[in-house]
Amino acid sequence: MRRRAEAPSSGNEPAVANNKVPDQRRPSQAEVKGSVSYSSVLVNIGKCLLVIILVPPFLNYASLQREAQMLLPKDGQIVDVGLGQKMHLLCKGRGKPVVILDAPTGMSSDVWFHVQENVASLTKVCTYDRMGLGFSKRLMQNETTGTEKVWDMSTTGRMVDDLHRLLGAAGIVGPFILVGSELGALNSRFYTHIHDVQVSDLVLIDPIPEDIFEEDKWKEYWYGKVVPSFQAKQFSAATGLSRMLIILGAIEPTVKGENVSEEVIQRQKYLQSNPAHQSAAVDEHYFLNESAAQVRDITKFKPLSSRTSVSVLTGDSFDMQMPEHLNRMVAKLQKRFLEDSYPSANHIHIKGADRRMIYKKPSAISQHLRKLVNQRQAKQQSE
């Protein structure tokens, strides 16, 4: 039996549908205000993040443009070496033989500050910035011409060609005492084997063994730790983070001390904030394997003249911040390649030093260079 339909509700009572009607009430004013406030906070946070991301690189770029002119060494000169390239050269003192100082991997000529000042009282001493480092501008890839099509942009073959053209354009003639540290030692060796008539003395400071990259543990360390660390420095400089860290005192200049001028310190801070300089440093580290191979090939192709004296300066270890087993490996390979390539070299051990000796133990290097200069000058006078 069907149920009777319920009577319709009276006009004063709300009608109730068979299905429940969803709640259609409007959000309260407090809820609307809260939602708007939350959105505003998000927008403001987004604006702040945008400022944080965009402003430091622009401020860093503007500062670099101003500092590039202000911090160029007063005694330095920008030399046109041809092929559209210009390189920074800084010479102090007068006389012969001329001492040429070539910096370690990825470093500017500032690291020779102490040594150059000390030896310049005896003779002419020149430092320079390799292409892309310091105040030597590197050409972009689409601008390259000439030798860089033969050699990679940051290998020893290219750097030696650059140095040869630099000395010629600046009118600096030999005989030279050629001094190089790490990559600078590879460059000095290559240069001396090619242009042996110009070089009276070759001084190698912490030379990199030619076959070091044949060792897997070294390759793992170099390309797994060292190169990425310089890539991080490049990124930090490009984003303006390096400049902020320098201002906060979290990053300090490499060369420092009581005898270092404020100009040198400011110049190092400028380079630490300069992504172009850091980019060149990355490339020099990345191509070090090929640079070592080029030197190995040239020494076999053209042995060193017996007229050129060779001296080697090493410390207690190659790098005190590197694992000990790698230091032992470098020492073993150094000894082997020196015995094969320069068996009559004068080997000098500097106690308590490592690859940073050129700015942490500069007096030992200066003393040896002064001795070589005195010997050559005495020989010239006797002739």
Strand partners, 178: 100, 202
Neighbours of 371 (CB within 10 A): 11
Query: In the prediction, which pLDDT does 109 show?
Result: 94
Rounded mean pLDDT for each run of 10 residues along the chain, 383 residues in total: 44 46 55 58 60 59 73 88 88 95 95 95 96 84 50 84 94 93 96 92 94 94 96 91 86 82 89 92 95 92 88 94 94 92 92 92 95 92 79
**Which of 276, 312, 271 is CA-nearest to residue 180?**
312
CA distance 288 to 156: 8
User: pLDDT tens for residues 97-126?
Assistant: 999 999 999 999 999 999 999 999 999 999
Query: In the prediction, which pLDDT does 251 show?
Result: 87
What is the residue-averaged pLDDT of the chain?
84
Query: What residues contact residue 346 under an 8 Å CB cut-off, 6+ apart?
Result: 309, 310, 311, 312
Which amino acid, one-letter code, is at 93?
G
By the 8 A CB rule, do 317 and 352 touch?
no
Strand partners, 349: 314
Query: In the prediction, which pLDDT does 262 show?
Result: 87
Query: In the prediction, which pLDDT does 65 show?
Result: 72
Look up tokens 């750097």; give the residue.
159
Here the tokens at position 331 are 């020492």
CA distance 273 to 282: 14
Instruction: Assign a CATH topology to domain 51-380.
Output: Rossmann fold (3.40.50)
CA distance 356 to 181: 9
Query: In the prediction, which pLDDT does 7 show?
Result: 43
Which sequence spans correspond to the domains of the chain?
51-380
Query: In the prediction, which pLDDT does 57 show?
Result: 64
Query: In the prediction, which pLDDT does 34 show?
Result: 53
Query: In the prediction, which pLDDT does 347 show?
Result: 94
3-state secondary structure of 91: strand
Here the tokens at position 167 are 């000395």
CA distance 92 to 76: 9
